[in-house]
Chains A and B, each alone.
Chain A
Amino acid sequence: MAISDVREYTHLTDEEVEQIGRELDAIRAEVEESRGAADAAYINRMIKVQRGLAFAGRVTLLASHRKPAWAAGAAMLGVAKILENMEIGHNVMHGQWDWMNDPEIHSSNWEWDTAQPAEQWKHSHNYVHHQFTNVLGHDNDIGYGILRMAREQKWHPANLGQPVYNALLASLFQWGVALHDLDIEAIRKGKKDPKEMKRQLGQIWRKGRNQVLKDYVVYPALSGPHWRTTLTANATANVTRNLWSYVIIFCGHFPDGAMHFTEEEIEDETRAEWYLRQILGAANFEGGPLLHIMSGNLGYQIEHHLFPDLPSNRYGEIAVKVRALCDKYDIPYTIGPLHKQYGQALRTIIKLSVPNGFTTSDKPEPPSPDRAPVERGRKSDAERPSRRAELGGWSRKAS
């Protein structure tokens, strides 16, 4: 089975699928050609605002023993961390701003204000998640290795604790993300290479230690006798950022309309089919400009998955065209208010904590309901099949 056989596509001819691809290419080309000074001004302004908020928050917290200063400082710092992680760090590391040739705002250089090392994020997110979006057994973002988020995944008695694991994951999200590329499931099964694990653990330890030192030692120490209130304000800012990023990320792929796929369905995928899988596997949420900025423009998750390296400030205009295209070809385009999207994700977490027989599915039926349950965890890079196994005669010789 290929992605083009998925039920939602079956009304499309091969030529229509390729035409959709051409129309999406045209949308991409239009943005690439018009990308310029206004976009550069946007990201520079965003970084300036974020740094201003972080500075103001830290300074205000020098007087954290006063309740209004504590509240204002924690709020400013929380917003600064959200902006840095969502609208700046995540998007810079996708290479959305590399075209600017800025020595600092570049995917190679950016290290973000969270516990996961940028290098590991670029592997687990940019590569594994974006290349194998919602493909069971490959994309570890389907439940982050601890939650059962698809009915096709085997149920285990440990899943009964999902509502609790979910609450812990949300509160400690940056630490969950920090461990994401380690692939705990592979470690548990003894499949992880010890040298690679040691290398990754070393990176996580150094990054995590610096984050802890910054927020829980150095800045509190600067507050002198008020160190304790500054520490609690910093912790509040971190937890706020954790909860917010968790909600936004869970709204991207777990609302009812977002489909899951199997390895067979992505075999020999063309660019147009890859585009279609991104549309079917992602979900948007509605909101005003401020909500979209605070969520790193991931309310336009479909557009982000179609064009992960186009500047995030353009996703709004791209979304209008993509939605019209989906209407034209009668392709599902999953969108709803934030509370509805998150509510659906939360309902799935709770329902899938018990075996399938106890609940009914809220999702569109999977393309092959009879397929075998999929093992938990993700494949390693070595196990991941090449969609075109060998390049053979096409390959460049460099001997």
Chain B
Amino acid sequence: MIRGLSRDVDAVDAPFAWERDDAGDLQLVARRVTQCALSRICGACAESLGRPVAFVGDDLEIGRNAFHAPPLHLTCAADLAARVDHWRVVTTSGFEFVRATAEDEDRRPVFSPNSLLGEASRG
């Protein structure tokens, strides 16, 4: 058990911030996303983040500079992105954690990198 989780963490198959739904798909868990954001731990392996910080997202998220998945280690992000066709990895030194407003239809918080480093790479 790690950080309140009653299961083992595997950065790729059982990442910290995700749980499998009934169909076996990985779904983000809101509470753990917030925990990763504030405790500054990796959303995949749950260890302290490094520098740079990595985010995974699709073209829309990259275009908006607003990511739903929590911050990750670069290697964890690359491993996760390799599993999803439309995900790319971006790196940053810092990020803002933005909570949803009452007006937002999508009530998930987002992460906005504030010091992007280099180009996004294909996962």
Q: Does A380 contact B (CB under 8 A)?
A: yes
Q: Does A66 contact B (CB under 8 A)?
A: no
**A285 CA / B94 CA spacing, docked (Å):** 30
Q: Does B3 contact A (CB under 8 A)?
A: yes
Interface centre among A22, A127, A130, A388 (most CB of B within 10 A): A127
**A284 CA / B118 CA spacing, docked (Å):** 40
Residues of chain B with a CB closer than 8 A to A328's CB: none
Residues of chain A with a CB closer than 8 A to B27's CB: 390-392, 395-397
CB <8 Å contact, B108 and A98: no
- Closest residue on chain A to residue B112 by CB atoms: A32
CB <8 Å contact, B28 and A382: no
Q: Does A258 contact B (CB under 8 A)?
A: no
Residues of chain B with a CB closer than 8 A to A32's CB: 96, 114
| Contacts A101-B115, A131-B34; A196 near B26 (Cβ below 8 A) | no
Stretch at the interface among A154-162, A267-275, A336-344: A267-275
Closest-CB distance, B97 to chain A (whole angstroms): 7
| Contacts A101-B115, A108-B53, A196-B1; A391 near B30 (Cβ below 8 A) | yes
Interface string of A28-40 (1 = CB under 8 A from B): 0000100000000
Residues of chain B with a CB closer than 8 A to A389's CB: 30
CB <8 Å contact, B108 and A270: no
Residues of chain B with a CB closer than 8 A to A271's CB: 98-102
Residues of chain A with a CB closer than 8 A to B100's CB: 270-271
Stretch at the interface among A50-58, A67-75, A118-126: A118-126
Q: Does B75 contact A (CB under 8 A)?
A: no
- Which residues from 46 to 80 on chain B have a C-beta closer than 8 Å to any C-beta of chain A? 48-51, 53, 68-69, 80
CB <8 Å contact, A109 and B84: no
**A309 CA / B96 CA spacing, docked (Å):** 8
CB <8 Å contact, A272 and B101: yes
Q: Does A398 contact B (CB under 8 A)?
A: yes
| Contacts A123-B39, A382-B6; A99 near B1 (Cβ below 8 A) | no
- Closest residue on chain B to residue A14 by CB atoms: B102
Residues of chain A with a CB closer than 8 A to B95's CB: 95, 98
**A97 CA / B102 CA spacing, docked (Å):** 29
**A5 CA / B71 CA spacing, docked (Å):** 34
Interface string of A334-371 (1 = CB under 8 A from B): 00000000000000000000000000000000000000
CB <8 Å contact, B101 and A18: yes
CB <8 Å contact, B107 and A388: yes
Residues of chain A with a CB closer than 8 A to B49's CB: 107-108
CB <8 Å contact, B30 and A127: no
Q: Does A11 contact B (CB under 8 A)?
A: no
Q: Does B119 contact A (CB under 8 A)?
A: no
Closest-CB distance, B8 to chain A (whole angstroms): 11
**A119 CA / B48 CA spacing, docked (Å):** 7
CB <8 Å contact, A399 and B5: no
Residues of chain B with a CB closer than 8 A to A108's CB: 40, 48-51, 53
**A22 CA / B104 CA spacing, docked (Å):** 13
CB <8 Å contact, B108 and A391: yes
CB <8 Å contact, A101 and B93: yes
| Contacts A98-B95, A100-B93, A108-B50; A399 near B115 (Cβ below 8 A) | no
- Which residues from 192 to 241 on chain A have a C-beta closer than 8 Å to any C-beta of chain B? 193, 195-196
Within the complex, which residue of A22, A101, A196 is in contact with B117, where a contact is CB–CB below 8 Å?
A101
Residues of chain B with a CB closer than 8 A to A397's CB: 25-27, 84
The 5 closest A-B pairs by CB, nearest first: A381-B4, A98-B94, A101-B93, A386-B31, A395-B27
Binding site for B on A (CB under 8 A): 14, 18, 21-22, 32, 93, 95, 97-101, 103, 106-109, 118-119, 122-123, 126-127, 130-131, 193, 195-196, 270-272, 274, 309, 380-392, 394-399
A-B contact pairs, 15 of them (CB 8 A): A95-B95, A97-B94, A99-B93, A100-B94, A108-B51, A127-B38, A195-B1, A272-B101, A381-B4, A382-B5, A384-B31, A387-B31, A395-B108, A399-B25, A399-B26
Q: A396-B68, A399-B26 are in contact. List 9 more A-B contacts (CB 8 A).
A: A99-B114, A99-B115, A122-B48, A127-B38, A127-B39, A195-B1, A309-B97, A391-B29, A394-B106
